[in-house]
């Protein structure tokens, strides 16, 4: 419910240029990307005001002619959000209203973030090469 995903193809093999551009776009939204594994970077931002903190994960998968970059945006509920949900369970209509408002805020912020990320790497993107049997290597 609280996630957005995007996948882009780049005709280059080195992910550093792409991750640097994505990192700058994330940093402008107070999210610092740090390496969390091979070809994987994660970052968490400051709360959006409704008890939710944005979380971004970037993964790069090499292909024969380039690489695929996948971006996942999710949220973590902080103490305020969890408390509001718990108190809302005592009064179900309050919980429903809180979840609807939180989801609307997430959708708006995640859409804005994905657009900013896509614009930051648009100059590097290329047309994907068709994989021989569906998905590119490394996915699955």
Q: pTM here?
A: 0.74
Task: Give me the half-sphere count of Cα atoms (radius 13 Å) on the Cβ side of residue 116.
Answer: 17
Average confidence score pLDDT of the chain: 81
pLDDT value of position 43: 93
Are 107 and 74 within 8 A, CB to CB? no
pLDDT of residue 1 exceeding 80: no
Task: Give me the half-sphere count of Cα atoms (radius 13 Å) on the Cβ side of residue 76.
Answer: 11
Residue with more model confidence, 8 or 97: 8
pLDDT of residue 40 exceeding 50: yes
pLDDT value of position 128: 57
Mind giving me the DSSP string for the chain? --EEEEEEEES-S-THHHHHHHHHHHHTTT---EEEETTEEEEE----SSSEEEEEEEEEEE-SSSEEEEEEEEEEE-HHHHHHHHHHHHSHHHHHHHHHHHHHHHHHHHHHHHHHHHHHHGGG--PPPPBTTBSPTT--
Domains of the chain are 3-123 (3.30.310.80)
**pLDDT tens for each residue of 47-103:** 777 678 889 999 999 888 888 999 999 988 777 767 767 777 777 777 778 778 888
């Amino acid at each position: 419910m609280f996630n957005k995903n995007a996948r882009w193809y780049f005709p280059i093999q080195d992910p550093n240029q792409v991750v640097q551009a994505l990192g700058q776009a994330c940093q402008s939204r107070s999210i610092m990307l740090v390496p969390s594994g091979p070809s994987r970077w994660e970052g968490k931002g400051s709360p959006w005001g409704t008890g939710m903190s944005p979380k971004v994960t970037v993964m790069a998968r090499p292909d024969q002619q380039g690489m695929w970059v996948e971006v996942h945006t999710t949220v973590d509920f902080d103490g305020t959000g969890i408390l509001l949900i718990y108190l809302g369970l005592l009064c179900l209509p309050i919980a429903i209203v809180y979840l609807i408002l939180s989801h609307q805020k997430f959708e708006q912020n995640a859409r804005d973030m994905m657009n900013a990320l896509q614009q930051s790497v648009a100059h590097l993107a290329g047309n994907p090469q068709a994989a021989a049997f569906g998905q590119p290597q490394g996915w699955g």
